[in-house]
Amino acid sequence: MSEERSLNFIEEIIEADLASGKHTQILTRFPPEPNGYLHIGHAKSICLNFGLAKKYGGETNLRFDDTNPVTEDTEYVESIKDDVQWLGFQWAKELYASDYFEQLYQFAVQLIAKGLAYVDDSTSEEIAAQKGTPTVSGVPNVYRSRSVEENLQLFADMRAGKFADGQKVLRAKIDLASPNMLLRDPIIYRIKHAHHHRTGDAWCIYPMYDFAHGQSDSIENITHSICTLEFIPHRPMYDWCIEQLGIYPSHQYEFARLNMTYTVMSKRKLLQLVNEGHVNGWDDPRMSTISGMRRRGFTPESLREFCDKIGVAKRENLIDFGLLEFCVREHLNKVAQRRMVVFDPLKIVITNYEGDGEDLPSENNPEDPNGGERMVPFTKELYIERDDFMEVAPKKYFRLAPGQSVRLKSAYIIQCNEVIKDEAGNITQLNCTYLPNSKSGNDTSGVVVKGTLHWVSAAHALPVEVRIYDRLFTEENVAAAEGDFKDYINKDSLKIIPQAFAEPFLAQATLSDRFQFIRKGYYCIDKESTPEKLVFNQTVNLKDTWSKVNK
């Protein structure tokens, strides 16, 4: 079991830092902005940050990057905490960038005092124009040469609320000619007379990401600050602030964010899907949100396994959704309780079956020797799946056909003798005979059949609703597709079976149960389910080589 596994590039950095004594213990952080729900891309970051800390005996803080009061809300804070814990991780400290507002303010004052920041009265359009372009240097304006004293006073006045939104900003004085646009005197504080979900109305100026993130890392003594590739150009600013302020030198490392086929990952697009009613909320089972996947029945174990399998590197990637499906099947196969549910019923009558019926034992999980059994009622009249019968069967068809025999799972071998139709020619019933000595576990018939079908006793059938989900988009690479991403929404991504027939034991199902409907797929109870009307979500179907061969 000593599987030699190569390290990813961040693990290599950490091991080098530990070996050289640069750090004796590592501290990472997961820093979401509470302005939306977490998605599978965040799961990658969570697994990375918490996973690294766990692997190397360190810790991870959960820090909310709440520096923009107009987009953030406590609702998101709660859902984020919930999702992180559900994924199986526990943070060392729950922190907020807003906890550091006073300290951040003092950092800005220090910068002003060093002549490294100034208050600018320009409009955002003027600032943008003065910044130049990648090939043309920016030009300084008159505000850039304000005195330290004046800047100090003006910044204090900004804090005191003497100015309206947009009237003034504080800018770092770095280099207007830098080829890195982010270094051309970036704005580090702006005025927003807005209510903050935690600090209320205590502040009317708020630090920008570039002035808050690195310093927050530093305040917490984060050793390895791990973020996605698009922040690479921000790193010089991150380092500049820490250096000028002379504070704890946290370091930023960047990895490639997760992209997945047939879905979208940006908060903006996810929000749009919710707001425009293309899905039924953030936790719609088709969403790439953690809450959606959770509702759909994905397990924390399978998501963690997925994040582990996709690896960590710096190149752009597009992960096959099929890999996620593989991970969830792999886990669910080991833990899901087997049950029989018929989606599209076709009645069969066992003409030679006498008596009121019997209860037959059926294994709960063939993968689990200790899984036990449950009793399934067997009677004269049963339902099987309509497409498990063909009047004219092609060769290699192992299911039921006139004159052909199959085993009913955990029950008997039956043979189809007669097909009954209505006036329109639709098949309404099959008359079959069973082999009394072919009882499951006690078969002395010597008959060998190729097919085994799932079934439900007609008299005991429990009507349930089943919801089946397909990919949300028709395009593999949605982000790269031309035009509006909404043009590629899969109209058939949700299929509802209002009345499927389940074996009676399923009436006891609870929200945390995981099932495999035999020969169908993996299912769980939806949150909208009630004892009167059970609702199941399909997590993922079973691999179906027959349907592929059939094509």
Partner RNA sequence: UGGGUUAUUGUGUAACGGUAGCACGGCAGUUUUUGGUGCUGCUUGUCUAGGUUCGAAUCCUAGUGACCCAACCA
List the catalytic residues: 33, 257, 267
Count Cβ atoms within 10 A of the Cβ of residue 347 and give its class: 0-12 exposed, 13-18 middle, 19 or more buried.
middle
Nearer to RNA, 12 or 528 (CB): 12
Q: How many CB atoms lie within 10 A of CB 260?
A: 23
- 3-class secondary structure, 414: strand
The residues with which 190 forms a beta bridge, in sequence order, are 169, 206
Nearer to RNA, 290 or 332 (CB): 332
H-run or E-run covering 512: none
What are the backbone angles phi and psi of residue 196, rounded to the nearest 5°?
-95, 140
Task: Tell me the C-alpha distance between 22 and 197, whole Å.
Answer: 38
Q: Is beta strand 494-502 parallel, antiparallel or unpaired with respect to 341-342?
A: antiparallel
Closest contact distance (angstroms) between CB of 75 and RNA is: 17
Task: Tell me the C-alpha distance between 415 and 410, whole Å.
Answer: 16
CA atoms within 13 A on the CB side of 493: 18
Strand ordering across the sheet containing 521-525: 337-339, 515-517, 521-525, 535-541, 462-469, 494-502, 341-342
Nearer to RNA, 284 or 515 (CB): 515
What is the DSSP secondary structure assignment for residue 473, as one 8-state letter?
Answer: B
List the alpha helices (DSSP H) in 161-234: 209-220
Closest contact distance (angstroms) between CB of 418 and RNA is: 21
Q: How far is CA 193 from the centre of its chain?
A: 34
Q: How many CB atoms lie within 10 A of CB 220?
A: 20
What is the DSSP secondary structure assignment for residue 140, as one 8-state letter?
Answer: -
Nearer to RNA, 200 or 531 (CB): 200
CA distances from residue 235 to 1, 5, 252 in whole angstroms, order as listed: 40, 30, 7
Nearer to RNA, 23 or 192 (CB): 192
Nearest Cα neighbor of 216 from 244, 238, 235 is 238
The structure tokens listed for 175 are: 């280099």
Nearer to RNA, 9 or 57 (CB): 9
H-run or E-run covering 75: helix 74-86
What is the DSSP secondary structure assignment for residue 537, as one 8-state letter?
Answer: E
What is the DSSP secondary structure assignment for residue 92, as one 8-state letter?
Answer: S
Closest contact distance (angstroms) between CB of 223 and RNA is: 20
Instruction: Tell me which residue has tokens 């004293």.
Output: 149
Closest contact distance (angstroms) between CB of 442 and RNA is: 7
CA atoms within 13 A on the CB side of 230: 2
Is 379 within 8 Å of 460 (Cβ atoms)? yes
Closest contact distance (angstroms) between CB of 234 and RNA is: 6
Count Cβ atoms within 10 A of the Cβ of residue 338 and give its class: 0-12 exposed, 13-18 middle, 19 or more buried.
buried
The structure tokens listed for 178 are: 């830098």
Closest contact distance (angstroms) between CB of 527 and RNA is: 26
Instruction: Tell me which residue has tokens 């990813």.
Output: 8
Closest contact distance (angstroms) between CB of 71 and RNA is: 6
Closest contact distance (angstroms) between CB of 243 and RNA is: 19
Nearer to RNA, 236 or 357 (CB): 236
- 3-class secondary structure, 345: strand
Nearer to RNA, 152 or 256 (CB): 256
Nearer to RNA, 97 or 290 (CB): 97
Closest contact distance (angstroms) between CB of 48 and RNA is: 12
Nearer to RNA, 157 or 165 (CB): 165
The structure tokens listed for 303 are: 């998501």
Nearest Cα neighbor of 112 from 169, 172, 37, 52 is 172
Closest contact distance (angstroms) between CB of 134 and RNA is: 3
